[in-house]
Amino acid sequence: MNTTADPECRWPPIYDFEELGEEITRLVSNSGIFDIFFQRRNLDSNLCQGDILKFPGQFPFIDDKGNISVIDDDYEYWMILGNTCDLHRDLSSPHFSHITPLIPLNEDTPENVVKGLQSYNSYRKFYIPPWDSSVAQGFVINFTFMCSVDKTCLAGLTELTARLTQHLF
C-alpha cells in the first residue's frame, strides 16, 4: 500500500490506482459481497458516511440559466457521502454535508445492465443491493448527482434505514 504523502494533499491515499482496482476486483469476485454489504446491528442515531436515509424528496440543481430547479422524479432514499467526522462536528462548521439519491432499478432493466452494475464496471454509478425484504429491487447512486443538505435537516427530518459496513465504504 502506498503510504508516501503527497505534499499537495493533506492525507496520503489509502490505495494507489492499481491497488484500488485490485481491491475492487477482489471484492466483486467474492460472491458473498452482498451478504456483507450492510451492518445488521449498531444502527444508532449517529449518522455516518455511507448511511442510507429515508427522506422523500426531489433532486435540486442549478439549471442552464442559473435558476434553482429540481428533477421531477421523487426519490425515497438517499446516501450520505459527506465525511462522518463533519457530521459530528458543531452544526456551524461545516454547516452542510453531501447526499445523493438512490435511483431504483426498474424490473425491466436489462439483465446485462444489472450484471454490469453489480460488477462495478462503471465509475459514475455504484450498485446498492436491497438491504431487507421491504425493498424489492436494487438501486444505483450516480456520483454526478450530488447535492448539499443542511446537517440539521439530516438529524431531524430523516430516518436511518441502512448502514454500509466500514469494509465497503
Q: Where are the domains of the chain?
A: 1-30, 38-163
What confidence tens digit (pLDDT) does each residue in 19-76 have? Answer: 777 776 776 666 566 667 777 666 677 888 888 999 998 899 999 999 999 998 999 9
Please give the grid coordinates belonging to residue 49. 458516511
Least confident segment among 60-64, 140-144, 155-159, 163-167: 163-167
- pTM listed for this prediction: 0.75
- CA 162 – CA 29 distance, rounded (Å): 23
3-state secondary structure labels for all residues of 33-80 = HHHCCECCCCCCCCCCCCEEEEEEEEEEEECCCCCEEEEEEEEEEEEE
- The winner for highest mean pLDDT among 12-16, 145-149, 164-168 is 145-149
Residues 6+ apart with CB under 8 A from 72: 58
The answer to whether 19 touches 1, Cβ cutoff 8 Å, is yes
**CA–CA–CA angle 135, 31, 110 (5° rounding):** 55
Residue 2's pLDDT band (cuts 50, 70, 90): very low
Tell me, what's the pLDDT at 150? 87
Please state which of the four CATH numbers 3.10.20, 2.20.130, 2.30.30, 1.20.1070 is assigned to the domain occupying 38-163: 2.30.30
Tell me, what's the pLDDT at 11? 47
Cα 82 to Cα 1, 69, 94, 116, 155: the distances in Å are 25, 22, 10, 26, 14
